[in-house]
Structure 1
Amino acid sequence: MRVDIKGVHYQITDVTRNFLESKLEKINYAEDYIVDLMFTLAKDHDAWIAEVNVNFRWGVTAHLKEDTFNLHESIEKLVDRLDQKIRKEKEKVQDKHR
């Protein structure tokens, strides 16, 4: 699983990168299902926007987005939604093969 992190109107710091990587430990179980994760963290006026594009091995692509007033809160919410999406997609694939 490849992880790319891009900042828009924001320079990605080591603290932010480490925080995101620690949150991604929550989805370690899905390394075999995901080709890559492309994160975009953006500062927009008074809010933080965290987005991710996830490409699954079976050809499905998903785009998730969270925006809040706190960067770390946006990242936490985004990773929680990503976890839910992975579980949902995994169930769809397993149901299809039964």
Structure 2
Amino acid sequence: MKTQISAQGFTLDKDQQELINKKLERISYAENLIVDLIIHVKEDKKFYFDTTVNYRWGGNAHVTGDDFDFAAALNQMMDVLDQKVKKDKDKVQEKK
């Protein structure tokens, strides 16, 4: 799984980068299903996480999260991402 993280409107510091990487461990069970994960973080009064997941079977998913706190916005996005990846993984396994 290739991960690409970009920040807009601010500079992503080392602690924030480590927090994102730590949270991404929640979806490590799907590492072999995901080709790449693109995370865009934007700060404009709030933190906005805009994430795209590209799967091996050609599908993709798009999830977002936003909050005034960086960690809260990240957690919100990760909750949705975790649910989405599980759902898509189960859907593909049912078709086999």
Same fold per superposition (TM over 0.5): yes
- TM-score, normalization: structure 1? 0.94
Alignment partner of 1:74 is 2:82? no
How far has the Cα of 1:11 moved from its partner? 0.7
What are the ranges of 5 or more consecutive residues in structure 2 without an aligned counterpart? none
Letter in 2 for 1:95: E
What is the alpha-carbon distance in structure 2 between the residues aligned to residue 49 and residue 2 of structure 1?
Answer: 21
Secondary structure, aligned partner of 1:32: coil
Q: Any stretches of 5+ residues in structure 1 without a counterpart?
A: none
Q: Secondary structure at the match of 2:81?
A: helix
- Give the structure 2 partner of residue 28 of structure 1: 28
Equivalent position of 1:5 in the other structure = 5
Q: Give the match for residue 90 of structure 1.
A: 89
RMSD: 0.8
Q: Secondary structure at the match of 1:17?
A: helix
For 1:57, the equivalent position in structure 2 comes to: 56
- Which stretches of structure 1, 4 residues or longer, exceed 4 Å deviation after superposition? none
SS in 2 for 1:4: strand
Give, in whole Å, the separation in 1 of the partners of 2:3 and 2:78.
13
CA distance in 1, matches of 2:25, 2:91: 23
**Identity level (%):** 35
